[in-house]
A = this chain, B = another copy of it.
Amino acid sequence: MTPDELYRTVMTVDPPATETPFEAATREFLFGQVWNRPGLSIRDRRLVSLACVAAADATGPIDDHVYAALRSADLTIEQLNEATLHFAVYCGWPKASHLETTVRVQWHRVHAERGEQPEPWPTLTADDLGPADRDERISLGQKEFVDVNGVPAPPSDSPYFHSGILNFVFGHVWRRPGLSRRDRRLVTIPCVGLSDAATPIASHVGSALETGDLTYDEMQEIILQFSAYYGFAKGQALHDAAERWRASKT
């Protein structure tokens, strides 16, 4: 596809004219080269890009990417809502608050443009909060932590680990239906990358590869997609983590 065709496919609207170096490079590099690459589907690239634009507080791009995700039907409203919660965990609640609002607004916009009433908003029940028993939560969290990270669960002896990591992040969020574990990795990896957290970068890049949820070639595509959207400066650390994992295999 030409850059303009790919822009239309990804963003679901006609491409604007390119008048500045930024706009010309956006069209040629982002759409002509990055989104055009094989190795990762456009849907997968959307999850990576959504995390990046949401973290970057870029209100215009957040609107555009959420709208395009819904309009293309690449992501359902349930999936976008799940991605928002997952993003909140890894990039913090304040940034996710804006994303949450945007999803609601764009959901109505997509239907309004089609002259439709929005489908009923998905309902949630107490069961969606996972098991109530607190010991069971910790126990499930320990198991999920091992499954996702491929290393032993941390001690349950600080609020961060006990109430946070084991009870909520792994005891609940990663175990929720609605997004596959692979999908959750597509949100998590850009988030740890932009957070510059050395240990989480190493553990999430390494475990995604180790579990086979993502191939090495897919990881390379994620890193390029991330670098294009969140900058090559931060991309380097993800790239180094992938290379360290590969080196450890030979």
A196 to B192, CA, bound (A): 12
Check B124 against A129 for contact (C-beta < 8 Å).
no
Check A165 against B232 for contact (C-beta < 8 Å).
yes
Residues in B with CB closer than 8 Å to A234 are: 56-58, 92, 195-197, 231
Residues in B with CB closer than 8 Å to A22 are: 81, 84-85, 88, 96-97, 100, 220, 223-224, 227, 232, 235, 239
A23 to B62, CA, bound (A): 19
A88-B25, A124-B21, A224-B25 given; A196·B134 CB < 8 A: no
Residues in B with CB closer than 8 Å to A159 are: 37, 39, 81-82, 84-85, 124, 128, 176, 178, 220-221, 223-224
* Chain A 15-42 interface mask (CB, 8 Å, partner B; 1/0): 0001111111110111001100101000
Residues in B with CB closer than 8 Å to A25 are: 33-34, 85, 88, 129, 168, 172-173, 224, 227-228, 232
